[in-house]
Amino acid sequence: MAFTGKRILLGVSGGIAAYKAAELARRLVSGGAAVKVVMTRAAQEFVTPLTFQALTGEEVATTMFGPGSEPLEHVALGQKVDALVLAPATANLLGKMAAGIGDDLLTTILLAATKPILVCPAMNCEMWANPAVQENVARLRDRGLTVLQPEAGELACGAVGYGRLPEPETILEALAKLVTPQDLAGRRILVTAGPTHEDMDPVRFLTNRSSGKQGYALAKVAWRRGAEVCLISGPSHLPAPQGVERLEVRSAREMLDAVLARFPQTEALLMAAAVGDYHPTSRAEHKIKRGSQELTVHLTQNPDILKEVAALKKRQVVVGFAAETRDLEATARRKLEDKGLDLIVANQVNRPDSGFAVDTNEVAIIGRKNLLVRLPLLSKEEVAAKVLDQVVALLPTRQGGKSA
């Protein structure tokens, strides 16, 4: 989980979207975070502190003085956490932050905070468009704060435009990045994912059981760790991971062209796609009609993308995936040699909890010089993190800097 062992301060200010902060608090807790909620006075007009207390299991801080407040809390709270997230951040809160005003507990905490701050504005669309608000946002960004763009849609006031609080998923991903060490900062990573579709006629195609989950998890985790990620995806129902450039392809041939176009600018290629090994030799122009008892389809071999690309490799780290049902490690090591790879992730795919379409995977990472890392059953995001650890270790150091 992205927030295991992390302590997050959730600041809630007084807008109608305050009710959505309750869902955010719940999702953070279920993602492993310890969450301390601080509410402004106006926020308490929309939601009660009890809601957040019940969701986080922690006392909610609301005031600098009086019962329930602790001395010097306003300094300590923003320093003892791993990150702060303000959701929703009202126009008023943005204004106070930009001007350096601390006239209540939350704004005072923000003045003393030393940890990364994620600001999630939500307000009426005209308010958001107001030049004063836009100037405040620009000032906060200049100071290094991450300010999310509100989403477009119908607002509580009935207007339609930019002003909605971003979806919890968007906020959680941006926050996950802020609490994750940036050991892939600025690195250009290319990931392939999903199956390929090899057309037989206008309505039928050959494919495999890949869902794209492992490749998408790699792209997501690489972005969180600071990489510039391009994801070349075969047909998949998964949403594009945040911050990642996704190129959609269909056949192995299209995937090869896309990989070849991007490979020269790439520092590491992770080829998680389950590329079809064959395509129908001819694609019928019209739907093939039911005819005789038997139908023979001739297949022609597809190019081996990894092999072609690995032959062009200069300083890039090239990682393959081996989906196997038996002799896992021996077969994977053979593929590592044969395809000229730096690493191969050997994936047991004939178990119900590992391989295609599920959220968990059991893999071994195999590399040169007898590298063998056997991993237990993990989530696909955890597998992605372990694979990326090995990639980081192999990336050539940048001129004048360290590898990270």
Peptide bond into 150 cis (omega under 30): no
Cβ proximity to ligand CTP, 109 vs 322, nearer residue:
322
Residue 29, exposed/middle/buried by CB under 10 A (0-12, 13-18, 19+)? middle
The label of the residue with tokens 């306003």 reads 74
Cβ proximity to ligand CTP, 155 vs 318, nearer residue:
318
101: DSSP letter: -
Report, in Å, the least distance between residue 339 CB and ligand CTP: 6
Catalytic residues: 157
Cβ proximity to ligand CTP, 332 vs 395, nearer residue:
332
Q: Give the residue nearest to ligand CTP (CB).
A: 305
Report, in Å, the least distance between residue 353 CB and ligand CTP: 20
Q: Which residues bind ligand CTP (CB under 6 A)?
A: 252, 271, 273, 275, 277, 302, 304-306, 320-323, 335
Cβ proximity to ligand CTP, 83 vs 272, nearer residue:
272
Task: Identify the helix (H) or strand (E) that includes residue 327.
Answer: none
How many other C-beta atoms can be found within 10 angstroms of the C-beta atom of residue 357?
9
Of 172, 150, 173, whose CA–CA distance to 161 is shortest?
A: 150
User: Is-contact 218 320, C-beta < 8 A?
Assistant: no
Cβ proximity to ligand CTP, 22 vs 322, nearer residue:
322
Report, in Å, the least distance between residue 337 CB and ligand CTP: 12
Report, in Å, the least distance between residue 298 CB and ligand CTP: 18
Report, in Å, the least distance between residue 387 CB and ligand CTP: 12
For residue 208, give every residue at least 6 positions away whose Cβ sits within 8 Å of its Cβ, in sequence order, or none: 195, 196, 274, 276, 356
Long-range contacts of the stretch 50-55 (C-beta < 8 A, 24+): 51/22, 52/10, 52/12, 52/21, 52/22, 52/25, 55/22, 55/25, 55/26, 55/29
